[in-house]
Each structure stands twice: as C-alpha cells, then as structure tokens.
Amino acid sequence: MGFDNRFEIDNGLLFELKLESMTQLKDVIHYYIGQSVYLCDNLEGNRVIEPLTAKMLAEDLEMFYDEELPRPYTIVLRRLEDMTEHEAIALVERIVHADEFVDVDTTHNSFGDLMVTWRGDEYNATGEKTWSSEQFHYLLKQGFDLWGLIDSNQAIDAKTLNQKV
C-alpha cells in the first residue's frame, strides 16, 4: 500500500511522514499509549497482550533506540482499510459538527476507500491523509497505523494476529 508522505492537522499545521527514510516506531510509539502490545505466548500457547502504559514505555524506551537490544513487545495496530462503517461515520462526524448527523450513507469508491455521504457531501474516510486534530486523535485512539509501521514490520496487524491460533 502506498502512503502520501504528508498530512495536515487543523489550522494548516502540516506533518510530514518520513516514509522515504521509513518512520521509526521509536519516534511515534508515544502516540499509541493505551493500545495493545503483544508481549509473548505463554506456556499454554496463549498470547499475552496488554495495553501499552507510559510506565512500560519509560522503562523500555532505550530498547527501541538501541537496535542491538531485543524489543520487549510489539505494538498491535490496525490498517486504515480495516475501518468499519461505524468508525468511518464517527470519523466524519468529528469534522461535520452538526446537531443532527443522520441519514448517513457509506459506500466504497473505485479505489476501495470507504466513503461517507451526508447531505450530498462525500467524505473519504480511509483514503484521505488530511485530518482535523479531533480526527487524528480518534484514529490513534482506535489503534490505526498512520505511519506504515505494519508494512515496515515494526507493528503487528491486529487482523492477522487475531487470525492466528
């Protein structure tokens, strides 16, 4: 999957993704405090998955900066294309700010992006890389990979992890 190398947050503040040099997990992991991390499989073969805490990150951050040290855990994220219709509507609702956000329709465009239509306006929920600060926060809170960490093998795809038994 190709990524645009920049995205905008409210008020013209522009963030540029360093995809040509690959975004490093160590530079963005703090955004994902509260998301699931895969620690290991226990003796019974069950996965040990816990939420990432600030304490864990503070104790283990040096391991993400030193490539010779093993990573203590792997963050579990979701691809934008795995967004549900409910999540797409909630994402668009954060910029519409309407008293009544009803009669909303969702479809997919020819690129496979999830589209939300409301009152004749179309919003691209999964193909856009320009988000308001509220949307950006929502996407992080939902555990979406905004930096290509899954494709660069720095994070585990939640869908793939859930399929493994």
pLDDT at res. 3: 45
CA 120, distance to chain mean position in Å, is 28
pLDDT at res. 165: 42
Domain membership flag for residue 63: yes
Q: Clarify whether residues 66 and 109 are in a common domain.
A: no
pLDDT digits (tens, 9 = 90+) for 120-129: 888 888 887 7
Residue 139 to residues 61, 116, 134, Cα–Cα distance (Å): 23, 16, 9
pLDDT digits (tens, 9 = 90+) for 142-153: 999 999 999 999
Q: Clarify whether residues 53 and 22 are in a common domain.
A: yes
Q: Clarify whether residues 61 and 13 are in a common domain.
A: yes
Q: Clarify whether residues 10 and 71 are in a common domain.
A: yes
**Which residues, in sequence order, are bridge partners of residue 155?**
75
Q: Clarify whether residues 27 and 43 are in a common domain.
A: yes
Number of domains in the chain: 2
Q: Clarify whether residues 148 and 74 are in a common domain.
A: yes
Domain membership flag for residue 109: yes
Q: What is the pTM of this model?
A: 0.75
Structural domain range at position 107: 84-124
